[in-house]
Amino acid sequence: MSEHLLETFADGVATLTMNRPEARNALSGDMMAGLQEAVPRLAEDPKVRCVVLTGAGGAFCAGGDVKGFAAAAGKPTGSNAPAPSSGDLSARIRGLRKSMELSRLLHEMPKPTLAAIPGAAAGGGLSLALACDLRVAVEDAKITTAFSKIAASGDYGGTYFLPYLVGAAKARELYFTADVISGREAFDLGLVNKVYGRDEFEQAAADYARYLAALPTVAIGRIKQNLNAAQHRPLDEVFNLEAENMIRSFETEDHKNASRAFVEKRPPVFNGR
């Protein structure tokens, strides 16, 4: 694991902490490599029942390294400087598209994903938070799509996820203007699920992650599959998927144990199987 990405595990919760606090956890090559290795591994690990993505030093993630963009933009582009070939451009597009699979994995893995936002979330960093199932934030977090401020169009799925959360018109506004909103405003818009004061945030986010990890993991994964399908598949296909997932859920240990607990009038304990 890179020093730009820290990984911890406790009580069924795997926490990935983006760790470049001096750069507000802007995405680096090492950080992305670490995320691309860790996220699919955690998705497949049966011991992991919730994945938390967060940032160190009071920020979530400022997105791409704008200083690096500026350095690249500052290279001469006149007749004495070779222009990138179409092959180079195509390779860059393929490389970005490949790395964007990270958002798909956060969105589709069969267990809850939680973005814990302790501060600034911008650009691609915000997109990664939007790819998670749920988001919690400090009240005064600074949240922005950011892309239009540097004349960029956006990546990592933000334009897919944001309209689903806040509606098409508001998503267009937030992308066009790159206005900065607070964690409290994001909560009011439905962009984040819970907000906390700065003093209580760390403990509250950890408690919420443990709560998610204690849910019936297999059933949650199937609920995610149903909800994701409902975003773009026709009704009859969603009905087919619901029927299959419901019957398969009846075969899990969690369902059988919970049914007995219901009859015996005691709280169920889920083991994620």
Q: What is the pLDDT along the chain (273 residues), one digit of tens a residue?
A: 579 999 999 999 999 999 999 999 999 999 999 999 999 999 999 999 999 999 999 999 999 876 655 444 454 433 333 344 445 899 999 999 999 999 999 999 999 999 999 999 999 999 999 999 999 999 999 999 999 999 999 999 999 999 999 999 999 999 999 999 999 999 999 999 999 999 999 999 999 999 999 999 999 999 999 999 999 999 999 999 999 999 999 999 999 999 999 999 899 999 889
**CA 35/CA 16 separation, integer angstroms:** 8
Q: What is the pLDDT of residues 3-25, one digit of tens each?
A: 999 999 999 999 999 999 999 99
Q: How far apart are the first and last CA of the chain?
A: 29
**CA 268/CA 273 separation, integer angstroms:** 13
Separation of CA 235 from chain center: 26
CB atoms under 10 Å from CB of 61, counted, come to: 29
CB atoms under 10 Å from CB of 194, counted, come to: 14
Q: Which two tokens mark 176?
A: 């066009």
Q: Which two tokens mark 158?
A: 């933000």
**CA 124/CA 62 separation, integer angstroms:** 7
**CA 247/CA 54 separation, integer angstroms:** 35
Q: Please give the order of strands across the beta sheet that includes 121-122.
A: 121-122, 142-144, 181-182
Q: Which amino acid is at 55?
A: G
Q: State the chain's maximal CA–CA distance in angstroms.
A: 81
* Contacts with 243 (C-beta within 8 Å, 6 or more apart), sequence order: none
Q: Which two tokens mark 206?
A: 């950890």
**CA 225/CA 251 separation, integer angstroms:** 17
Judged by DSSP in three states, 239 sits in: helix
Whether the Cβ atoms of residue 35 and residue 102 lie closer than 8 Å to each other: yes
The secondary element (H helix, E strand) that includes residue 220 is helix 217-230
Helices 101-108 and 86-99: crossing angle, nearest 10°? 20
